[in-house]
């Protein structure tokens, strides 16, 4: 059993608190520190926050809002920057799979939301990651005819391509790459999503359009540029390597000069 | 043309252009240091080489090309830097680096310091701002005595030290740049790993040491 001080970001941009008043942290947001005692070392970080929220409710306070869903490390819903690292100090781990045994007794844990212009705070630690959805809508798909599924191995795929596409496909779209990047760039996410489809034969017909559209959408959403720091790779809970960014760079270079169909959404392609 | 302008202003395209401009400047540095090393072959070698350069009809074409590449490199770097600052308007309370190196973190600072050095360097040895350098024709050899200018210039210890520190900063800047080059141009696979992580640091070290050897040799009295 261990005790902790949890310094957590509280913010209510919508300004809705109990009785229509200002919510916790106000519109601008601020850190609040809470003390939590007798935490079992085998509890996950989110379970610790559940207990803290229970405590807040019992004290008649508004609980801390945070994102979560499967709590199995596969859905990409959980976020949080814990002590300066997205998904906490353990590598290859989502916040929901992070356990309290990794934190020292009586330590102060600083919990912040993912920070990026493209990820505005909705409430406390919950950020709006729909920018990723819009990037996917811009081209992160393949168009196929409906009907019966084709026989297996009708389209032959090299083992290396299949493996590389699969590694890219393990991206859960959590946004840790954006949170970790000093420039709040979404390049690793976009690279994983374009490579997942672009490395397979089924993704070829729309490859150049997909690459150009997704990169354009990424920029329009207000993400930063890649400085090859590879903080994204280090923070990625699914260990997606930054070499996919090199693949995206190459695909973009080729697509820019071979695609004749791509049209910008506005006069200036990359500024909203 | 439309495709080109779209490419130039795209986040990836502008980086590719910055990387290519940087590469050209890097190749110039290799040529520059090879020319400079003639100083170890005596005053005649260096002065003859310098005379050939100064009277070369393509000198100004080359100078303007380098100025253009440098301006492009700096312009894109600053533009990306500003865009990146806008991308995270609220910074973290605790901003921990997971694997970020010193070279990566200081690119904009080292770049600005190199820019200051370039101005000083041109002022010092090309325009003769300091009293130790003379642009007058040496009557004995019927040309500007570049060898003597360099030796006199580096005998002022703060000037020599400034050059040495600046070369180390260039090495720091190149350390990240050359690794980035392959990534930005899309060449990053296991076969290139040795080139990116083994060969480029050696290349940078050789380049920086070759540049440093000249002010160091003057300071030590090996070149007089």
Domains present along chain A, CATH in parentheses: 2-123 (3.10.20.30), 130-271 (1.10.1060.10)
Q: Is the pTM of this model over 0.80?
A: yes
Q: What is the C-alpha separation between A270 and A146, in angstroms, rounded?
A: 34
| Phi, psi angle pair for B18, to nearest 5° | -60, -40
Residues A130-183: pLDDT tens digits?
999 999 999 999 988 788 888 888 889 999 999 999 999 999 999 999 999 999
Q: Are A169 and A196 within 8 A, CB to CB? A: yes
B123-161 per-residue burial string, b: 16 or more CB within 10 A, e: under 16: ebbeebeeebbeeeeeeebeebbbbbbbbbbbbbeebbe
Q: Is the dihedral of CA B18, B20, B23, B28 positive or negative?
A: negative
> Which pLDDT value is given to residue A23?
81
Return the residue in B1, B7, B82, B88 with the most chain A beta carbons within 10 A, the one to mutate for interface testing.
Answer: B88
Give the number of other CB atoms < 10 A from CB of residue B224. Answer: 7
Pairing between strand A108-112 and A2-10? parallel
**Burial (Cβ within 10 Å: 0-12, 13-18, ≥19) of residue A13:** middle
Query: Which residues lie below 8 Å from residue A177, measured CB to CB, with a gap of 6+?
Result: A185, A186, A187, A188, A189, A232, A233, A235, A236, A240
The distance of A206 to chain B (nearest Cα, Å) reads: 18
Q: Do A184 and B16 touch (CB under 8 A)?
A: no
How many angstroms separate the Cα of A94 from the Cα of each of A72, A206, A261, B52, B212? Answer: 9, 32, 39, 63, 48
Q: Does B100 touch chain A (CB under 8 A)?
A: yes
Residues B52-90: pLDDT tens digits?
998 899 999 999 999 999 999 999 999 999 999 999 999
Please give the average per-residue pLDDT across B208-223, as a whole number.
93
Q: Does A110 touch chain B (CB under 8 A)?
A: yes
B84-B87-B89 Cα angle (round to 5): 115
The distance of A184 to chain B (nearest Cα, Å) reads: 6
Return the residue in A243, A258, A261 with the most chain B beta carbons within 10 A, the one to mutate for interface testing.
Answer: A243
Model confidence at A266, pLDDT cuts 50, 70, 90, reads low
> Which pLDDT value is given to residue A212?
93
Reply yes or no on whether the pLDDT at A19 is more than 70: no
Tokens of A235: 């923070």
| Phi, psi angle pair for A108, to nearest 5° | -100, 125
> Which pLDDT value is given to residue A232?
97
Chain A, residues 204-223, CB within 8 A of chain B, namely 215-216, 218-219, 222-223
Tokens of B21: 């401009």
Give the number of other CB atoms < 10 A from CB of residue B91. Answer: 10
Q: Cα A52 to the chain's mean position, in Å?
A: 24
Tokens of A192: 């994983």
Residues B100-151: pLDDT tens digits?
999 999 999 999 999 999 999 999 988 888 877 777 777 776 778 889 889 9
Percent of chain A with pLDDT over 90: 81
> Which pLDDT value is given to residue B221?
87
Of A50, A109, A40, the closest CA to residue A78 belongs to A50
Q: What is the C-alpha separation between B219 and A17, in angstroms, rounded?
A: 71
| B11, B184, B189 ranked by CB distance to A215: nearest | B11
Q: Which helix (H) or strand (E) holds B25?
A: helix B11-36
Of A225, A270, A85, the closest CA to residue B180 belongs to A225
Query: Which residues lie below 8 Å from residue B72, measured CB to CB, with a gap of 6+?
Result: B17, B18, B21
Model confidence at B1, pLDDT cuts 50, 70, 90, reads low
**Burial (Cβ within 10 Å: 0-12, 13-18, ≥19) of residue A252:** buried
Return the residue in B82, B86, B87 with the most chain A beta carbons within 10 A, the one to mutate for interface testing.
Answer: B87
Q: What is the C-alpha separation between A172 and B199, in angstroms, rounded?
A: 35
């Amino acid at each position: 059993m261990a005790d902790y001080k949890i310094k957590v970001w509280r913010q209510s941009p919508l300004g809705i608190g109990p009785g229509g008043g200002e919510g916790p942290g106000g519109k601008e947001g601020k850190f609040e520190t809470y003390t939590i005692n007798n935490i079992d070392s085998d509890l996950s970080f989110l379970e610790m926050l559940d207990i803290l929220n229970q405590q807040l409710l019992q004290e008649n306070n508004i609980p801390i809002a945070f994102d979560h869903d499967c709590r199995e490390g596969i859905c990409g819903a959980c976020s949080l920057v814990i002590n300066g690292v997205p998904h906490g100090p353990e590598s290859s781990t989502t916040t929901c799979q992070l356990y309290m045994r990794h934190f020292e007794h009586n330590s102060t844990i600083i919990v912040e939301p993912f920070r990026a212009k493209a990820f505005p705070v909705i409430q406390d630690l919950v950020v709006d990651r729909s920018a990723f959805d819009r990037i996917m809508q811009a081209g992160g798909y393949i168009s196929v005819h409906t009907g019966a599924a084709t026989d297996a191995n009708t389209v032959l795929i090299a083992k290396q391509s299949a493996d590389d596409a699969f590694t890219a496909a393990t991206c859960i779209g959590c946004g840790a790459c954006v949170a970790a990047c000093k420039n709040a760039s979404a390049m690793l996410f976009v690279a994983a999503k374009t490579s997942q489809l672009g490395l397979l034969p089924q993704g070829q017909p729309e490859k150049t359009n997909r690459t150009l559209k997704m990169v354009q959408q990424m920029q329009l959403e207000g993400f930063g540029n890649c400085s090859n720091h590879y903080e994204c790779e280090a923070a990625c809970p699914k260990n997606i390597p930054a070499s996919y960014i090199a693949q995206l760079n190459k695909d973009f270079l080729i697509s820019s000069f071979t695609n004749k169909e791509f049209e910008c959404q506005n006069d200036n392609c990359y500024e909203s | 043309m439309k495709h080109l302008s779209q490419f130039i202003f795209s986040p990836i395209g502008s980086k590719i252009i910055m990387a290519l401009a940087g590469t050209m400047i890097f190749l110039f540095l290799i040529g520059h240091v090879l020319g400079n090393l003639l100083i170890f072959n005596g005053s005649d070698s260096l002065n003859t080489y310098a005379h050939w350069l100064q009277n070369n009809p393509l000198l100004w074409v080359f100078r303007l090309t380098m100025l253009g590449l440098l301006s492009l490199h700096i312009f894109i770097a600053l533009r990306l830097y500003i865009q990146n600052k806008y991308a995270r308007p609220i910074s973290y309370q605790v901003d921990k680096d997971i694997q970020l190196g010193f070279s990566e973190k200081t690119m904009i600072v080292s770049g600005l310091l190199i820019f200051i050095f370039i101005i000083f360097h041109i002022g010092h040895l090309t325009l003769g701002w300091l009293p130790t350098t003379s642009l007058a024709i040496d009557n004995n050899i019927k040309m500007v005595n570049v060898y003597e200018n360099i030796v006199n210039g580096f005998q002022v210890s703060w000037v020599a030290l400034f050059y040495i520190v600046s070369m180390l900063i260039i090495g720091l800047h190149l350390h990240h740049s050359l690794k980035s080059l392959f990534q930005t141009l899309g060449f990053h696979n296991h076969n290139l790993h040795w080139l990116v992580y083994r060969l480029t640091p050696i290349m940078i070290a050789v380049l920086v040491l070759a540049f440093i050897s000249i002010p160091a040799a003057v300071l030590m009295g090996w070149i007089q």
